[in-house]
Amino acid sequence: MSGAGVLQALRARGVDAHAFDPAERDMSELRREGFKRCFIALHGRYGEDGTVQGALELLGIPYTGAGVMASSMAIDKVMTKRVWLAEGLPTPRYVLLHRGAFSDERVRGIPAELGLPLIVKPVREGSSLGVTKVTSEAQIQEAVAAAAALDADVLCEQFIAGDEVTCPVLGEGDRVRALPVIHIVAPGGNYDFQNKYYTDVTEYRVPCDLPPGEEAAVQALCERAYRVLGCRGWGRLDVMIDAATRQPYLLEINTSPGMTSHSLVPMAAQAAGTSYEDLCLALLASATLDYPPAPPEGDAA
């Protein structure tokens, strides 16, 4: 759905754009057919984890979004947390479980360690797949099993009660800028796969309704979190704001965000005065490589 939307937008603006699915075609065909750059509209494993980015590096074809290292770090929620914590950025407390390396007794002890409720999720998934909000000790084993079915590693995370917000970020380095923050209000606080993509009951408040100064603070935090991971092009960061302390906590970053009719980056861009088509063009123009080829000898730098 993301790819179809981007393709239509680029063609509407006169770009000679074509759909290309690596599940159906060998990526070497991109070079043979003379494609100049790629707009990556793949999500999750292989599309967002540095794999397709590495293939495009080898082909020498510039692409949108984060590079190989930033993509591979950002898809891993625990690695992302480690980087943020090392930089002094706030993220909820967590316990990491490696498949086959933890006992039932260890799992049963997690509620006492992190408190209830808590969140259990696969380390390298998105779209809320395999995510469980655990509200009682009796639920923890089943929640861990559900997450482990999707990933070798399971993240158990402190639950932050409060406002759920998301903040898109564009650019690279000193040119990074955050778009308007979106306040997500889902039924019963359950922003799951169904409520993300297939219902219209979730409320997206943009301009957001945060207290004065809080939106700017979240934007500044997200810009910094984006930069320390070495991201470029674009990304979207998910944040929880503690209801009692109003402290924002970074949850995760998406380096190939959705571009569907329900997606949040286009929504925030629209609130900032940028149309869907202009957003797609700007992202395409930002396509680059980690290791651009050196200019031919004799060319000006």
Model confidence over 158-198: pLDDT tens digits?
Answer: 999 999 999 999 999 999 999 999 999 987 655 455 545 55
Has residue 300 been placed in a domain? no
Residues 206 and 278 in one domain: yes
Interatomic CA distance for residues 170 and 233, integer angstroms: 6
Residue pLDDT, tens place only, 193-251: 554 555 567 899 999 999 879 999 999 999 999 999 999 999 999 999 999 999 999 99
Has residue 294 been placed in a domain? no
Domain boundary among 118, 138, 158: 158
Interatomic CA distance for residues 161 and 194, integer angstroms: 21
Handedness of CA 20, 22, 26, 30 (dihedral sign): positive
Residues 273 and 130 in one domain: no
Residues 19 and 167 in one domain: yes
Position 75 scores a pLDDT of: 96
Has residue 282 been placed in a domain? yes
- Asked if pLDDT for residue 107 goes beyond 90, the answer is yes
Residues 177 and 269 in one domain: yes
- Asked if pLDDT for residue 255 goes beyond 90, the answer is yes
Residues 74 and 167 in one domain: yes
Residues 107 and 255 in one domain: no
- Host domain of residue 35: 1-91+161-289
Residues 86 and 178 in one domain: yes
- Asked if pLDDT for residue 261 goes beyond 80, the answer is no
b/e per residue 125-150 (b: at least 16 CB within 10 A): bbebebbbbbeeeebbeebbebbbeb
- Asked if pLDDT for residue 126 goes beyond 80, the answer is no
pTM higher than 0.85 for the full model? Answer: yes
Position 195 scores a pLDDT of: 47
CATH classification at residue 106: 3.30.1490.20
Position 299 scores a pLDDT of: 56
Residues 36 and 83 in one domain: yes
Question: In percent, how much of the chain has pLDDT > 70?
Answer: 93
Residues 209 and 254 in one domain: yes
Residues 242 and 281 in one domain: yes
Domain boundary among 120, 139, 158: 158
Q: For the ranges 14-18, 91-95, 127-131, 161-165, which has the lowest average pLDDT?
A: 127-131
Domain boundary among 158, 178, 199: 158
Q: Which of 288, 294, 295, 297 is nearest to 57 (CA)?
A: 288
Residues 276 and 175 in one domain: yes
Has residue 297 been placed in a domain? no
Question: How many independent structural domains does the chain possess?
Answer: 2
Residues 72 and 180 in one domain: yes
Burial class of residue 103, CB neighbours in 10 A (0-12, 13-18, 19+):
exposed
Q: Which of 55, 186, 56 is nearest to 128 (CA)?
A: 186
Position 95 scores a pLDDT of: 97
